[in-house]
């Protein structure tokens, strides 16, 4: 189980403070994706130790599939940064 607090949300707005860094945010999410993938690979090598990694995000997402939530949120934020998705204020 990953607990990421307000780092990301599955269905709610992600708010970045002026002091925040989108570069650091992407780095953190990339690390979490790598972490989840490594645990998933270990589970495939030893099925008896199967690990279904879940994620809790702030007050919005409870027990979601970690890899899916992380990848979809990262992809969405990449669309925002690249201008394919409008920034909402």
Domain ranges (residues) in the chain: 2-9+19-82
Q: How far apart are CA 32 and CA 48, in angstroms?
A: 23
Describe the strand order of the beta sheet including 2-3 as a list of residue ranges. 2-3, 54-57, 61-65
Q: Is the pTM value of this prediction over 0.75?
A: yes
pLDDT by residue for the chain (89 residues), tens only, comes to: 878 877 777 666 676 777 888 899 899 999 999 999 888 766 666 655 556 888 888 777 778 889 999 999 899 889 988 999 876 76
Q: In this structure, are residues 51 and 42 in contact, taking their beta carbons and an 8 Å threshold?
A: yes
């Amino acid at each position: 189980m990953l607990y990421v607090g307000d780092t990301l949300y599955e269905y709610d707005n992600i708010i970045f403070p002026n002091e925040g860094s989108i570069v650091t945010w992407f780095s953190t999410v990339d690390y979490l994706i790598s972490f989840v993938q490594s645990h998933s690979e270990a589970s495939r090598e030893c099925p008896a130790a199967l690990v279904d990694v879940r994620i809790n995000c702030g007050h919005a997402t409870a027990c979601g599939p970690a890899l899916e939530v992380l990848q979809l949120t990262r992809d969405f934020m990449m669309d925002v940064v690249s201008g394919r998705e409008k920034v909402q204020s």
